[in-house]
Structure 1
């Protein structure tokens, strides 16, 4: 716990009258309230969040709507710069909250958060700031967040992502302080600048504002009037001018931003002192970010937004320095997560207010893509959910399109759709879930009866839809076991059930004696299909790599480079196989795998095959079936001279039923068609759903 400054005096307070500075905590609270009245088009909730050490963090939460689907999206957390507070985001709350919940905090030692004494050691001081952010996140119950920091907030956001990469979905640095290193040969143009800089560094940056006493507000207005202009540039119309002349409240707000800044910084110095401990003379950081950029988690998406006229990137930067975007990417080194650099050419340092429309648009663009969350069902179980969006030029029309749901196969999870989510989300919002009992979703017991077990799976997906706030009539793509469940959902469905979920055992099929023996042993001892993998212990990963090395080739083959990945194309040598292993090697119990076993007999064939029940589907329900020509089951059909899956499907469906795409074969593919030929797979899915709004 850091010591509190609430009862401590400033270094000069004993020399001045008690009321020398026209401020107190109530004045700051009132100034914050006036500034937050600027926020429109969203609901604000302001509160104090208590940390384990007793400190309090001022928090503002902005939302648009309270439906479960919206609230489950990955939130944006805003970290302000030095000497600022939550009110400085008043131009950003509304637009950003339309997409997802937004949190803004007064950093520890700033604004209305607790004033504490920071250690003078730069590393310890940095750790104290980062620890307070992590404790706040846990106290708020947030999992992953999109972390956006401006100026000093960007510096802290980087250090937080460095220490807690698993808690950050994306890192956005907005004109971050401390990014650049001080050049070795950098000297001020005049000697006196260096002398004054070293002298002032002994004092807190805004000590002069506090020392000015009653002249402090005028001092802020005189030297930082440009900031007020940034926030008022949408008030220059005739109506606003008339209102200012007749409405006393409008006159009161003429300097609301500057008054808020004054009251934030006229309180006892705390976070400002911590900033001084982290800063070197003349504005550089003692521990700059550039040398530490390669230490960031390689998979973490990073975005840099900076002002083309910002003093942070002009001051001390050689004229012959390389392009900042190229240098930033080069310093980051080889990465698997996407890296973007955006320049707001006509903006200075306070780009979030100078051109708030462009800034909000850039942040919205950078925040698109994947939202990862857990959706809780009424029974208390949780479903791991990934939401992907790419609204393009018409976000309103995009939001009205019917969402697409992806259901994985047995032993898999949401990550296997990494080849497909990016391209499919360009047409409509895409959701992928870990089916109950698989991946990171809750592990629950399933009934022994096949019909009841099937109903448990299907009901959990319907309960997830309701909990996520999604409309009826979702479009569904299901692969393998997911295709089996997709048909049972009776939604508009595109499925690729390349295992025994679609077909019953072929007529006259006599399984080999060895297969019968294995199936009998597994049924008697109630063994799950992947128990051998779990029993292999430390040899499990090697077993997966040896027996399923083909999966690595499917996911590593980028072909012509038009990758379906959301991030960079390189996936690492065995990332996919390691993911498959950890999905199968559950620490608690197999669960979903057990449920799928109870739906099968002879290991791979369904006890309640879809083909024998497909005539029960509504005649108007469009259905597309994609299958691999090299799939073992369908090769067996051809070898026995039986009708192929397409002919069986057409004869099984009632006369006059509609087909959207009918039956498509990918002749060179086996089971994993979504990855083996992901371009064709994505194209077929987009084509099948093209006509649905």
Structure 2
């Protein structure tokens, strides 16, 4: 959605302008940087694809509303944020503050903790809580910074009432706040998470757009949770009653956890369903290292991290291949295995060449293609030989003659896996999307 400029009236009768851009629920954005046009924020590295950004510039920045006096500058702006919340008709707001806007967001959270649903502080200022307010000069004397508008001790006390989750995001360098200062800031909040974005500086979405937008979007989405496996942050969605038998859904190449929504809605009636975003996909990290072996280890790490050993694992295509490799290597981790139109580790003919560059933006890391194509072109022969090591009862679902995968390979796999059965649902490669009822029926008959 294209940016729009709108106006509202603050507590003191001042007309203020704000800018909106994007789609989804509103996210109030407080930009940092004195007297700079907030247009420079862009769409925060693509965050506008997930939320409607509501950008409120500083007084005196572009909208002609100068502060009454320097000492009242931050006091006025806190009141302006509250007036904007009322104008938007929101009982509680999701709030993002950058740089000096982070100080303002912190002060707003201290003044109105009941009005904050979630808080993101991106490369934030730390003066509001007294971090970095005092330093020593070359002679060892204390130097005070700031304009006297902060009352750090009072702010810290007030923040104890904040029940909202907080994400403090710092760059990996020392261009403020340093990772240590960001960690000290996070401690000031009752429920805070610290994320250091390696390779990013004071404007993290400019240095690494996706590396900024993905974790922020995951944090802001109440349906999404995250876990770190071998240094890679993985996003996932979970539904269903706690304590119910677990089912883990693993998407194919280029997909993500959202493609399982219809399946999840049905299974969650009596199962605890976990839909995972694999590395390089969805809202998970893009570490640059891909391939079936890396994905195999990732699924295994995910099951261990969440205590899901013995779960049913349903994998589509690439996700199914990785799950199959895991079932071979660590049989005890998987209770039941479902492989939906998954490749069977025979070399692809003709071999696939380099993926080239995408013609349009894609929702996954394009490097996944070359890495997994290399495995498809020349799979490790042991992967076929070790199919007999799979001990989990296995359901192989083929998409029939319209699938691009040779269905004879699936039949061959069903003969090699000790406890496997083959079901064909003529839907092409995307069985669970094209024929969800038949797909669910096959799962239920299999005991899922």
TM-score, normalized by length of structure 2?
0.48
Specify which structure has the bigger relative contact order, considering alpha-carbon pairs within 8 angstroms and separated by 6 or more residues.
1
Which of 1 and 2 has greater Rg? 1
Structure with more helix by fraction? 1
Give the TM-score, by structure 1 length.
Answer: 0.32
More strand by share: 2
